[in-house]
Structure 1
Amino acid sequence: MSSEQCAVNADGSLKDANEIDFYHDPDDAAPITGPSMTKVAAHHKLSDYFYKFDESPFYTWSMLLDPRIDREALEADYEEDPTLAGHLNTSRQQLRRYFNTNYISNHTPLQSTSSTSSIASIGSSDIIHVDGSPQKKFKSKYHRKVDAVHDELTEFWKLPPEDSENCDPIVWWAGHKAMYPNLYRLALDIFSIPGSAVAVERVFSGGRDTISLRRASLSADTIRLLMIAKHRLYLARNQKQ
């Protein structure tokens, strides 16, 4: 029996996936009894990845960093469900910990750098002696430039939500780079993750064309640069059209 006959009903309509019979050979008259090895193998493979989505924090983090999300309304909806409320609170704590570890610890704040360079360039002639000591005038004049770095996550979560129809999260974050110099980098890294497997599969398919058998010894950095250059050329070609 051909594969087309196995997947088609008598009236010509297609069968559902669970209604299709499997055969060892195309010429067999009777289908395989019980669950086929193909179905069992497919089920096991899907089971390996089924819970991977729940383990990833980036789905919730992208929601917490989306300027279009009304966080007060979200908390109100989750308030009646202890499980969802606890998950939201845990995700916030994990996001803050990840942000402080990877985007704050090893990054020099822009405000401190600019204020230090400004103060270093000041001479004694720049200090005005009026109604007080020069030290007081110095502190008063440059008080705003030496303020401590603000909590970017807390400040962002205090903002009202943006219009969901007219706001592009990536464009919004790029426009608020000066206000959130560290959080902006984390947001763009998260929003650059494809939301579906289609784009990822396309990257792997294109990577196979780039990494041939004779070029299999390329380093990971070289492959990354080649894939980025290939994608930029693809975007530039589409923009011209």
Structure 2
Amino acid sequence: MSTLTHVLPSIDYLLAHYNNSLEKYHDNPQLSSMLQVGLRKLEKYFNKTDSAPAYIAAVVLNPAWKWEYFQTRWTREQVIAARRRLKQYWETLYKDFREPRNQMPGDSPYAAGDRSDFDLWYQLDYVAVATGMNEYTQYCACSPEPDISDPRSYWMSGRSRTLFPNLSRMALDILSIPAMSAEPERLFSGQSRRLQQGVTVCVMKLLRR
């Protein structure tokens, strides 16, 4: 199932396709007119994503992309505005969240041969104190990891939850949101039809009695 991670990249791809097509078919008035209509509609929905920082967060919290995705595709002004919105979102909802860090049974925060709990805790605490960084800025300061194909698995790992307890909560909240509501709506509609059919069968049986 596609999640919010794919929304902005998909729009960026379509915007690039429309603009390239407009340049390619600029001498075709009829086709150019249709392309311009489609482009305006696409830009309308792209602008609507500004009201929800979760769309930006879904890309940045993909460890394979982070902010490098936007820095190579968006204008400097767009990136600055996006950084400001996401920083405010993080600081308002997640930065100071406090919850007992109970480890799930059988869930080890480090792989065999990796660093211990103490090493991970020390790194997180020492870096935060020495640099003044919080979880979000520490995560963004690290280079993207292009080999990671499943962002949710990355954030569900014990290692990520140990190093970034609040940021991992934010990531899993956002990366669990489907890109479209069509699939959940289809599921509920299907169950509703089944219930209606079941009620109809019961009523018919009662009437026959």
Q: TM-score, normalised by structure 2?
A: 0.48
Normalised to the residue count of structure 1, the TM-score between the two structures is 0.43
Q: Which has the higher helix share?
A: 2
